[in-house]
Amino acid sequence: MTKAVKEALVIGGGPAGMIAAEELARAGLSVTLAEAKPTLARKFLMAGKSGLNLTKDEPIEAFLARYSHPQIAGITRAFGPDAAMEFARGLGVALFTGSTGRVFPVEMKASPMLRAWTKRLADLGVTIRTRWRWQGFEGDGFVFDTPDGRRILAPDVTVLALGGASWPRLGSDAAWVPWLTAKGVTIAPFQPSNMGFAIDWSAHMTDLLGQPVKGAALITPTRRTRGEFVISARGIEGGGIYEIASELRDGASLALDLVPDLSLEDLAGRLARIPPKQSLKNRLRKGARLDPVKLALALEWGRPLPAEPHELAARIKALPVPLGPPRPLEEAISSAGGIAWDSLSDELQLTALPGVFAAGEMLDWEAPTGGYLLTACLASGRHAGQAAAKRLLSSS
């Protein structure tokens, strides 16, 4: 006897899992959404504490260029910034676009969107099970540790959206890796992404730790960007660093242009007009108009500072940053690595496990912060949910 209603299971209650569950429910399937933590989308909520950056309002080609793999870019093309914004508005979330193109809820927080989304899933008939921790396979079944004891589910189709390996305390602990590896799925090793880097500060920097560095240009061998970052007791971190973190992680050098709006010659001219009898510190403060944080960095990383104006200007327009190692994976905002693309079909089905799909940060891709991560998680969850539903409905 066949089941009257096809059953779908989604494991992982973050944005990718939630949108996959919604797509499956809209297709008329009986959907169970299993989440290991007491509540859904804890990383989503944490990311939204300082303002939920939903997406970035920019031309689609520029947006897609920020992804590390063409596959995730292709999936996100079908659900890009415009679709992400429309999705949020459909949940009653009013949005605004900041001066850099980043899109936020007017309320800034993630919690109103999550409440509305959870209610919509319930209205669609999705059964939400929290504190259900996946423990691997038993035959064709998925084993869970639940508040009511051990449970085994054998759905018709499954979407895995378990996250990567960053922020394990919020649920992304990559505990699933050995279970999928044992089934023949290839997993690319995890690495930190969107993370800071260690710096061995001198005692002179103590009073400035925690301060932002604004208006500097960050220079790597391949590009020059503008972005704010923070100097902290652990090193340097923040959006400007995260944007180039993957390149730095892979060994690229970093330099700062502390006066990016002046040419080398103009800056040298300004420095030359300061009497040479004044200290180098005063010449930089008056001639280059460095704020206290930039001045401290010039003194920290530029010594011995040359006295000749042109050489001094060249030093502070290409100040070498003595990067230490990247901060560890558990401190990273996201992770690179995960399920290799050659273990997936174009529909995000695991080739070694027919009927099992994967989405979100489980997949081997990375992107900078700024709305790119969340948009692609939504896009891949939607893609996997639609493909899983199509598989079942086409076989009915």
Strands lying side by side in the sheet with 255-257: 224-226, 217-219, 255-257, 319-320
Which pLDDT belongs to residue 1? Answer: 42
271 inside domain = yes
Asked if residue 219 and residue 164 are part of one domain, the reply reads no
Domain count across the chain: 2
Asked if residue 313 and residue 242 are part of one domain, the reply reads yes
CA nearest 90: which of 9, 11, 17, 19?
19
Asked if residue 351 and residue 306 are part of one domain, the reply reads no
Asked if residue 372 and residue 311 are part of one domain, the reply reads no
Asked if residue 111 and residue 41 are part of one domain, the reply reads yes
Asked if residue 150 and residue 213 are part of one domain, the reply reads no
CA distances from 209 to 88, 244, 302 (A): 37, 21, 18
Asked if residue 153 and residue 11 are part of one domain, the reply reads yes
1 inside domain = no
- Of 320, 354, 383, which residue is a domain's last? 320
What averages of pLDDT result for each successive group of 10 residues across the chain (396 residues)? 77 97 97 96 83 94 95 97 97 94 92 96 98 96 97 97 91 94 97 96 94 97 94 95 95 97 95 89 91 96 92 96 96 95 98 97 94 96 98 81
Q: Which domain holds residue 19?
A: 7-192+329-395
69 inside domain = yes
Asked if residue 305 and residue 350 are part of one domain, the reply reads no
346-354: long-range contacts, CB 8 A cutoff, minimum separation 24: 347/383, 347/384, 347/387, 347/390, 347/391, 348/75, 348/380, 348/383, 348/384, 348/387, 349/387, 349/388, 349/391, 350/180, 350/183, 350/185, 352/183, 352/184, 352/185, 353/180, 353/183, 353/185
pTM equals: 0.92
Q: Which CATH number goes with the domain that contains 166?
A: 3.50.50.60
174 inside domain = yes
Asked if residue 333 and residue 314 are part of one domain, the reply reads no
CA nearest 216: which of 116, 294, 99, 112?
294
Asked if residue 344 and residue 283 are part of one domain, the reply reads no
Asked if residue 66 and residue 179 are part of one domain, the reply reads yes
Asked if residue 252 and residue 116 are part of one domain, the reply reads no
Which pLDDT belongs to residue 47? Answer: 78
263 inside domain = yes
Ramachandran sector of residue 90 (left: φ over 0; alpha: ψ -120 to 50; beta: rest): alpha
20 inside domain = yes
Please report which residue ranges of 183-262 form alpha helices under DSSP H.
239-242, 245-249
390 inside domain = yes
